[in-house]
Structure 1
Amino acid sequence: MPSTKPAPSARQQELLERAYAYSLSHGLADLSLRPLASAIESSPRVLLFLFGSKDGLIRALLARARVDELELLRQIESRYDEPPGLTVVARELWTWLAEPERRPLMKFWVEAYGRSLVAPDGPWADYGRSTVEDWLELLKASQPDPGSPAAEARRTGVLAMLRGALIDLLATEDLDRTTAAVEDYLRG
């Protein structure tokens, strides 16, 4: 059944982009409409009108963040004619994740992922699960024999390692140590 939801207006898209930029630097934990609206040159009433509610705005922001994540996955997939192997893709992912300019997006991701675990019925619902599925699908596409239980276990381990190293990097800013740990895992 086709969606009957109208496409977002240009104004809604513009405010979503501004709100997304704001949330990358300020986070979502204590998001308040009044300071957000002021920072993006709007008003709380306009945001409520365009997004329906604060939860609707948060859902739109999470969807917007996911667009960036999925674009990365598409870029990596498009570089290869054949599966490059899990180790190659994991190294590319780590390089992208660890870049300093990605830190705001990665902090946003960690916050949204954590909230999806503790508030699974709110605007965060399904965010954690869907990001796991997106990343596992990319890793699966990099494997020559992705259907075996061993291949599934390996990509799950790689994903867990990358996410753990990312959280550690965000907490400590120790790129050398976390990159060495990633490399050690991928060699082993």
Structure 2
Amino acid sequence: MTEAAATPSARKTELLEKCYAYALTHGLSDLSLRPLASAVGSSPRVLLFLFGSKDGLVRALLERARAEELAAIASLHPSDDGAAGGLEAVVRHIWAWLAAPSHRPLLTLWLEGYSRSLLGEPGPWAGFARSTVEDWLDLLAAHQAPGERGTAEGLARRTAGLAILRGALVDLLATDDVERATAAVDAVLEVTRESGD
């Protein structure tokens, strides 16, 4: 594939952004091309031409959501030694981002894709959950000291950090109780720190 062929057209990029804004409000589960196309100023035929199929469009939207989430979390900029603030500080920082009300639509969309992937649905959902776990573990690993990063204990610690974040996030999306979910994250991190001392 040539570089030109791999680069999406300006129209495709524009429509992807409009479709993504629509998906943040309406979700992906019952996505119908006709109302989507109407909402974004296009037609089902154009969307199918640009994305290959409805599954291709859903896959592109999931990738767009994943890219936004990763960019936000990756902006933490680990220090050269990978341990600035440690894993606990990074988990707290990520939680603050996750808990921000402005991120609810993105995270609800993420949970929808994650859940459908866990159900083993074929097509664009396949592998989405596993990929996001790997993405997050890689990002958390970047914030561990190099000596810890490659160890079984290091993997266990970042898996625990991810479990804290994911569990609290699902609870937050269900209840919108930021104060309680944040208190729970803080309590678990405090116990983890004390047991590590």
TM-score by length of 2: 0.90
* 1:63-102: CA deviation from partner (whole Å, max 9, x where unpaired): 11111022113201x2634322110100010000010000
2:107 is aligned with 1:95: no
C-alpha contact (below 8 Å) 1:165/1:178 kept by paired residues = yes
2:83 is aligned with 1:80: no
| Distance in 1 separating the partners of 2:33 and 2:18 | 13
| Distance in 1 separating the partners of 2:78 and 2:4 | 36
| Distance in 1 separating the partners of 2:153 and 2:175 | 33
Deviation at 1:4, TM superposition (A): 8.4
| Distance in 1 separating the partners of 2:3 and 2:134 | 23
Match runs of 1:6-25 below 5 Å: 6-25=6-25
| Distance in 2 separating the partners of 1:124 and 1:169 | 23
Q: Quick one: structure 1 residues 122 and 103, their matched pair in 2 at CA, closer, same or farther if it must change by over 3 Å?
A: same
> Percent sequence identity over matched residues?
59
TM-score by length of 1: 0.94
List 4+ stretches of structure 1 deviating above 4 A: 1-5
Aligned CA-pair RMSD: 1.6
2:154 is aligned with 1:151: yes
Structure 2 gaps of 5+ residues are 192-197
C-alpha contact (below 8 Å) 2:90/2:140 kept by paired residues = yes
Q: Which residue of 1 aligns with 2:28?
A: 28
Structure 1 gaps of 5+ residues are none
Q: Which residue of 1 aligns with 2:195?
A: none
How many pairs are equivalent? Answer: 187
C-alpha contact (below 8 Å) 1:107/1:170 kept by paired residues = yes
| Distance in 2 separating the partners of 1:122 and 1:79 | 35
| Distance in 2 separating the partners of 1:154 and 1:56 | 36
| Distance in 2 separating the partners of 1:2 and 1:41 | 30
Q: Return the letter of the residue paired with 2:46.
A: V
